[in-house]
Amino acid sequence: MQRIGVFVCWCGSNIAGTVDVHAVAEALKTEPGVVFSTDYQYMCSQAGQNIIKDAIRDYRLTGVVVCSCSPRMHEVTFRKTASQAGLNPYMVEIANIREQCSWVHKDVPTGTEKAIILGRAAVAKVNLNAPLTPGESLVIKRALVIGGGIAGIQTALDIADAGFPVDIVEKQPTIGGKMAQLDKTFPTLDCAACILTPKMVDAAQNENIRILSYSEVEKVGGFVGNFEVTIRKKARYVKEDICTGCGACVEKCPMKKVPNEFNLGMDNRRAVYIPFAQAVPKVATIDPNYCNMLKNGKCGLCARVCTAGAIDYTQKDELITEKYGAIVVATGYNPISLDKFDEFAYNQSKDVISSLEFERLTNAAGPTAGKLVRPSDGKHPHTIVFVQCVGSRCDACAEKGKEYCSKICCMYTAKHAMLTRDKYPDTEVYVFYIDVRTPGKNFDEFYRRAVEEYGVHYVKGMVGKVSPEGDTLKVQASDLISGKQLHIDADLVVLAAAIEPDASARPLATMLTASMDTNDFFTEAHPKLRPVESPTAGVFLSGACQGPKDIPETVSQAGAAASKVIGLLVKDKLTTNPCVAQSNELMCNGCSSCELVCPYGAITYIDKEFRMPDRSIQIRRVAQVNPAVCQGCGACTVACPSGAMDLNGFKSEQIIAEVDAICR
């Protein structure tokens, strides 16, 4: 028989306001096994915890029931308290009489009655509790970073600097991500390449970092400290270790009309290509969709000109399986497709472009070598209209666009407008905005500079329509301050497209069993207190995969994610949750039902000898649970017809006792 102590918390007036705490303590005194019962203003306070510790010693308690807030809040606290007093922490149960009682019911009699019943259920459960001891699992001291943009690079560098090996998996032929495509960065206007490319080189040269470019994650198994990940290294038909990146193949390749994705299709590349001059790894890649040799066996020019002999048309995708202790998701973002925004004529006119395309047009390494010209005729634009919030802040029911604010558009549009006026003072620049959102260090100052020093016309209102007419783009917009409808003949219209998570994020989340919100952004473990951790243990979040972010925010989150990873990897062992499934071999049928429902592959079978009553020996197949792998969901316990499988901490007997106590 257990000796149970009951501790009823007032939580100030949070509980005591709707629950007669004395009555609860009094009523629970008569429950089977209860030898001590009391109440106190704040059980979680030092004084409250001392009451529990004293009672455990004075009354030789074997079990503790705390009637208080949600176990999600203070179960850990009270377990620690118990263990400080020498009681096994798993002998503590919480009756949730705040969130699920005092806060949702209005009158004292109802609240008190329910609190007593909830307390009774907890006492019934503790009566059947058994001491549990956490196990241990080894931590593989290697991290995986998925995504090689600035977020992934920064996370990898920080982890590597702490001395742990890191793999970066990047699906493109080079790392660098979106930042590599940008021209200048707000609000300091330093050039993106100047600050990013040294980091890319650092990553490539860091002996703790292995870059798996042109690769994708295919399968994820295992658990925190011990993930097993299969990575598909796509065939690039060039031997990465031999290629010197000289570019001779690119020069000779006769397939010249391949849309260049790095410049968003505004110019062409060859079938064999290096995305950009500072690519890391600086290795050529053959595009199998365009290469004549790969498509129909005719050509082979690149192999002939390659002095290193790096071209290999027979290369196949390679599957790499590696073990990791931690995984960082840094899959980033993409601008949304503008196909649905007919009113802005994005698909009708070449001179209506997205902001990312504008970045490439003004980038010295871009298709026009940094000269801002109209994509249609190469002429210098004199009137440029920027439209903000294209697809951002849309109603959830609207078919196009996203509900959220994309966060970065206000600032980069201010940057674009300012730089245009700076370089081409003869241009008129209009920015149509709904609100200008500039919360960030030196952000508003930057925006004001665009207006005050550079004379950018900021117009409060939206563009309703863009119609291409001959050489010009007729822009019809409203100016809400003056109450006029404006008609502007523009030469170039730039749309600040909303950003969305990369399409690879959703399937990846499924593989990682990490949760996502309705917009496909990864969910953090706690929006305020654990912003870089996914709720799935061992999975961390870095950059825009978690929500729209600018570069400084991304970098700081990347560093934060890295420090969390380092904190995990420095441990040699993790204590495992002892609330795991356990198979009673005497009752196990060996039928495999549990094995088939286990999402973690924690169950295996062995043949075991059993001594029968007649002294004969029988060999039976029985299930065994690996406690380090089991996460304690309990799916197996229901699949098991004989009830041989049970879950520590949530045994069938305990749950039935709770049911009985509630239904008494």
Partner 1 sequence: MQKVTAKTLSGKAASLLNAGEVKYVLGWKKGEFDYDITPALFESAEELEKDFVWNDFSCANLSKYLIKYTRSLSGKILVFLKPCDTFSFNQLLTEHRIDRQKVYAVGVPCSGMADEKKIRENADGITAISETEEGYLVHTLYSDAPAFISKEEALLEKCLSCKGWAHIALDEQIEGEVFAPSADRFDQVKALENMTPDERYHFWQNELSRCIRCNACRDVCPACTCEKCVFDNPNSGVENKAAANSFEEKMFHIIRAFHVAGRCTDCGECSRVCPQKIPLHLLNRKFINDIDSFYGEYQAGLDEGSRAPLVDYDTGDLEPSQVFDWRDGQNA
Partner 2 sequence: MPVNGYKPLIVAFCCNWCSYAGADLAGNNRLNYPADVKIIRVPCSCRVNPMFVLRAFQRGADGVIICGCHPGDCHYTSGNYFTRRRMALLFSMLDYLGIERERTRVEWVSAAEGAKFAATMNDFAETVASLGENKRLEDLRCKK
Partner 3 sequence: MNNRQKQEEILRISGVNARKCMKCGKCSATCPAYDEMEYHPHEFVYMVETGDIDRLMASQSLYKCLSCFACVDRCPRGVQPFKLIEAVRLMNIRKQGNNHMTANDIPSILDDDMPQQAIVSAFRKYTK
Question: Which residues bind to partner 1, rule: CB under 8 A?
Answer: 584, 586-593, 596-597, 605, 612, 616, 618-621, 639, 641-644, 646, 651-653, 655-657
Task: Return the one option of partner 2, partner 1, partner 3, none that residue 591 interacts with (CB less than 5 to 8 A, by type).
Answer: partner 1
Is residue 535 part of the contact set for partner 2 (CB under 8 A)?
A: yes
Q: Which is nearer to partner 1, 45 or 592 (CB)?
A: 592
Provide the 10 A C-beta neighbour count for residue 480. 12
Q: What is the SS3 string spanning 566-606?
A: HHHHCCCEEEECCCCEEECCCCCCCCCHHHHHCCCCCEEEE
Q: Which of 29, 57, 60, 72 touches partner 2 (CB under 8 A)? A: 72
Is residue 465 part of the contact set for partner 3 (CB under 8 A)?
A: yes
Q: Which is nearer to partner 3, 277 or 480 (CB)?
A: 480
Q: Which of 39, 123, 631, 644 touches partner 2 (CB under 8 A)? A: 631
Helices 108-127 and 652-662: crossing angle in degrees, nearest 10, is 150
Alpha helices in 363-516 (DSSP H): 409-423, 443-452, 505-512
Q: Which of 254, 276, 96, 300 is nearest to 196 (CA)?
A: 276
Is residue 383 part of the contact set for partner 3 (CB under 8 A)?
A: no
Q: Which of 483, 518, 527, 528 touches partner 3 (CB under 8 A)? A: 483
Give the whole-angstrom CA distance, residue 19 versus residue 30: 18
Q: How far is the CB of 603 from partner 1 (least distance, A)?
A: 12
Task: Return the one option of partner 3, partner 1, partner 2, none that residue 424 interacts with (CB less than 5 to 8 A, by type).
Answer: none
Q: How far is the CB of 437 from partner 3 (least distance, A)?
A: 12
DSSP secondary structure of 284-352: -EE-TTT-HHHHHS---HHHHH-TT--B-TT---EEEEEEESEEEE---EEEPP-TT-GGGTTTT-TTE
Is residue 244 part of the contact set for partner 3 (CB under 8 A)?
A: no
Q: Which is nearer to partner 2, 391 or 578 (CB)?
A: 578
Within 8 A by CB and 6+ apart from 369, the residues are none
β-pair type (472-479, 463-469):
antiparallel
Is residue 404 part of the contact set for partner 2 (CB under 8 A)?
A: no
Q: Which two tokens stand for residue 51?
A: 């009451």
Is residue 121 part of the contact set for partner 2 (CB under 8 A)?
A: yes
Q: Which of 423, 375, 362 is nearest to 191 (CA)?
A: 362
Is residue 639 part of the contact set for partner 2 (CB under 8 A)?
A: yes
Give 210's strand partners.
167
Piece of the chain touching partner 3 by CB under 8 A; list 247-255, 297-305, 456-464, 589-597: 456-464
Angle value at C-alpha 411, between 409 and 416, nearest 5 degrees: 90
Q: Map residue 160 onto helix, strand or coil.
A: helix
Provide the 10 A C-beta neighbour count for residue 596. 11
User: Which residues, 485 to 504, sit near partner 3 by CB under 8 A?
Assistant: 485
Is residue 462 part of the contact set for partner 3 (CB under 8 A)?
A: yes
Is residue 394 part of the contact set for partner 3 (CB under 8 A)?
A: yes
Q: Which of 195, 284, 194 is nearest to 241 (CA)?
A: 284
CB contact at 8 A, 432 and 385: yes
User: Which residues, 560 to 599, sit near partner 2 by CB under 8 A?
Assistant: 579, 597, 599
**Binders of partner 2: how many residues, by CB under 8 A?**
48
Q: Give 211's DSSP letter.
A: E
Q: Which residues bind partner 2 (CB under 8 A)?
A: 70-73, 96, 98-101, 103-106, 110-111, 113-114, 117-118, 121, 510, 513, 515, 535-536, 579, 597, 599-600, 631-635, 637-639, 647, 650, 652, 655-656, 658-660, 662-664
Q: Which residues bind partner 3 (CB under 8 A)?
A: 343, 389, 393-395, 397-398, 401, 434, 460-465, 476-478, 480, 483, 485
